[in-house]
Amino acid sequence: MGICHICGNDGPLTREHVPPRAVGNSIRVCVHTLYSLSKGWASGETFQAGLTRSTLCSRCNSRTGRDYVPEFARWALQACDYAGCVARDTHIALPFTFSVLRVAKELGVLTLVMSDTESLDLPHFFRLRRLVTQAHLYGHTPRFRFFTYFHVGPPVFEGPFDAIGTSGGPSPSIFCQVGLEPLGYIVTGDDNSSIAWAKQLSLCDISHFFWFPLNVLRTEHLVIPRLRGQIPFRPIVRP
Contact by Cβ (8 Å): 135, 67: yes
- Please tell me whether the peptide bond between 213 and the residue prior to it is cis, using omega within 30 degrees of 0: no
Find the helix or strand (DSSP H, E) in which 82 lies.
helix 58-83
- For residue range 101-147, list pLDDT tens digits in order: 999 999 999 999 999 999 999 999 999 999 999 989 998 888 999 99
Helical (H) or strand (E) element with 102? helix 100-113
| pTM listed for this prediction | 0.90
What's the DSSP call for residue 157? E
Residue 89, φ and ψ in degrees, nearest 5: -110, 25
Statement: residue 21 has pLDDT above 50: yes
Using one digit for the tens of pLDDT, what is the confidence trace for 139-190? 888 899 999 999 988 888 888 876 665 566 667 888 999 988 899 999 999 9
* Residue ranges of E strands in the chain: 2-3, 10-11, 14-17, 29-31, 45-47, 52-56, 94-99, 145-152, 156-158, 161-162, 173-180, 183-188, 204-205, 217-222, 226-229, 236-237
